[in-house]
Amino acid sequence: RADEAVKLLTDAAHGFAELGLRVEEGRVHLTRGRVERRRRRRATARKSWETALEVFAGVQARPWIALTEEHIARLTAQQAPARLSAAQPRAAHGLTDHELRLAELVCRGATNREAAQQMFVSEKTVETMLSRIYRRVGIRSRTQLSRALTP
């Protein structure tokens, strides 16, 4: 479904561009960026938002420029490498280097499959390591893990 949505949005953007409806074209790029972000395709989301920003800047659509810049800023903040806060050093949680690396990948938005590929382990190993991390840190979800780690 998401692939279909992206295709429809791409077609809509081209259609609005041909008609000279620049604000609508920008809004479609903004929406496509949101879809791509939900699919965890951050680079594609950023590209869509940067395109939207160019379109909005071309017609001086200031409110849309501000909204698009907010999306880009949030994405940039989410991609910043995570580090354990000074208040909760790694040793306090008892995390190994591999567990810390996995936790940082997850905080940056990596799926289990992506983390497994980057760490050269199986997805099952990632699942097991995440369960261990959750138990050691005293949390239950990826969201809580992100809160336990700070940029």
Domain residues for the domain of 141 are 83-150
What gap in Å lies between CA 85 and CA 106, rounded to an integer?
Answer: 16
How many domains in the chain? 2
Q: In what helix (H) or strand (E) does residue 150 lie, and over which residues does it extend? A: strand 149-150
Q: Are residues 10 and 66 in the same domain?
A: yes
Query: For 7, how many CA atoms within 13 A lie in the half-sphere containing its CB?
Result: 4
Summarize the confidence of residues 40-51 as an average pLDDT.
Answer: 92
Give the confidence band of 79 by pLDDT, cuts at 50, 70, 90.
low
pLDDT exceeds 90 at position 107: no
Give the confidence band of 49 by pLDDT, cuts at 50, 70, 90.
very high
- What CATH number did the domain enclosing 146 receive? 1.10.10.10
Q: Are residues 12 and 62 in the same domain?
A: yes
Give the confidence band of 90 by pLDDT, cuts at 50, 70, 90.
very low
On whether the CB atoms of residues 28 and 12 are closer than 8 A, the answer is yes
Q: Are residues 71 and 126 in the same domain?
A: no
Give, in degrees to the nearest 5, the angle at Cα 86 between 84 and 87: 105
User: pTM higher than 0.95 for the full model?
Assistant: no
On whether the CB atoms of residues 11 and 19 are closer than 8 A, the answer is no
